[in-house]
Structure 1
Amino acid sequence: MTTAALEPRAGRRCAHVLNSLHATSYFAPELGEELAAVGVTHPRAANFAVRAAAMGAVGAGTVTAAFYNYKHELVARFVPAVWSLASPEAVLAARTRAVDAALRRLLGEETVTSPEMAEAAELGLRATEACARGARPLYAAHADLPVPEEPHLAYFHAATLLREHRGDGHLAALMTAGLDGLEAMVTHTATGKGTAPKWVLATRGWSQEEWDAAVARLRDRGLLDDTGELTERGVALREEIEDTTDRLDRAPYEHLGAEGVARLTELGAGFARAALAAGAFPADLIGKG
């Protein structure tokens, strides 16, 4: 293990690159097809099932708590009923088949079977050796899953572990900052880097009225101005949240070391660019519109 000093935001950059490829799975048509084949046909049910399945046949309360920014009433429409359609084990197997097919389509066979993919998988898995289970339910659940043998699936598994490890810590940072799930989405969107409002409203269960009420609360706290833009105080709070998230997520990247993190970021960025060029995401997913 190495303790080589990292550039302050090197871990954050690496995590974002890894998350970019992980996130392709939620928009891949292969995922909907594979889940439909095991009985899960509604897009919202599919979304909850595929991410929560590692935790077992949990109830709506557990999913709402772990996902944080979904309205509980929406979750409860589909959970735990989804487990009567397909077991968590069937959902996980369907996800593996979907990821396999999607990565082959987005990246191509040459990349999927390349030495670079095998190297990225090895680096990603090495970083996960320093992840911690405590107070990280989504990470801990996925950490109990077996590591796939094929390199592109092992890379996706490592990216998932690192994504959920950072995500669980990020929720702690949001709670410390006093932002509820919807307020977190509103402020993230206001940075220009978060999910566009129409996607939040379409997928998270919140109404326009609830979004507007969250905006009003944030304005009253001095975090948003009258146009919905972040104030200086709002910008500072979002950066404080990211800095806290970095601190809570530092261990895996310190474990991998500066050279390893740089190489994993380089490789992951190449895979993410290829997936983006292949149309992995909706064009209007990110932004304030």
Structure 2
Amino acid sequence: MKTWKKIVAAAGAAGLALGLAACGGGDSAGGDTKLIVGASPDPHAKILRYVADNLAEKQGIELEVKEYTDYVQPNEALNSGDLDANYYQTVPYFDDQTAKNNWQFDHGKGIHLEPLGIYSEKLKDIKDLKDGAKIGIINDPTNQARALNLLADNGLIKLPKDEKQQKVSVIAKSKEYNPRGFELPEVEGPQLVRALADVDIAVINGNFAQLGGKEPSDALILESTENNPSLNILVWKKDSEKVEAIKKLDSLLHSPEVKAFIEKTWPNKAVLPGF
């Protein structure tokens, strides 16, 4: 009888162990919490893989990086549960998309910046820009606002107080906001470097500048990380069961090791640590 009780007890223990394993389905066999994180290939995925190879294991995290080449799928995959987090977007983009789609997401502090630059093939100093000059501006709404801010920060235009009016279509026609009478043609992001032949200057995102053969050192003016809302962030669902592990990952992304990795990997300042 005692032997039978022992067998039953052993079976019950085994069943309990299986039940606990099933409940922890998101964990790897080694006991680490597995996180699947969506990211743009460069620099986001590179930074995450550095963390995966050098820092994550010590924090009990198994990190799988899934690459995306567009800006729509990573948030949709996060919302559907296919991802535990994503790392590819800026705060203004996050605010816009979560409001439009009613996504219940949360995010950490800024990690890095891919700085916008003001580039030219005709000028060597922004002081040489003449009234009525042509300034190429990206036609994407989120990045356009960022480009207009860079121009305003450098005294080339003024911005309406109403953020809804901070558009090229409003500013270009206004003597109040565009007192120097600049032409502001809107251009597809990937075409901005090519458009430099037809404009006096253009405000170009770092990734598009590099694709067109430009380096940050070529810019007349480069965007600063200080108080910049366009720093890239780690994003996750508010009700995620893995929020503790995700916040550990966010902490690793703000570590001295990651800062040193960014500075070493992109010495040309195409990517800047934002912390």
Give me the TM-score of the superposition, normalised by structure 1: 0.28
Higher strand share: 2
Task: Find the structure with the greater CA-based Rg.
Answer: 2
Of structures 1 and 2, the one scoring higher in RCO (CA 8 A, sep 6+) is 1
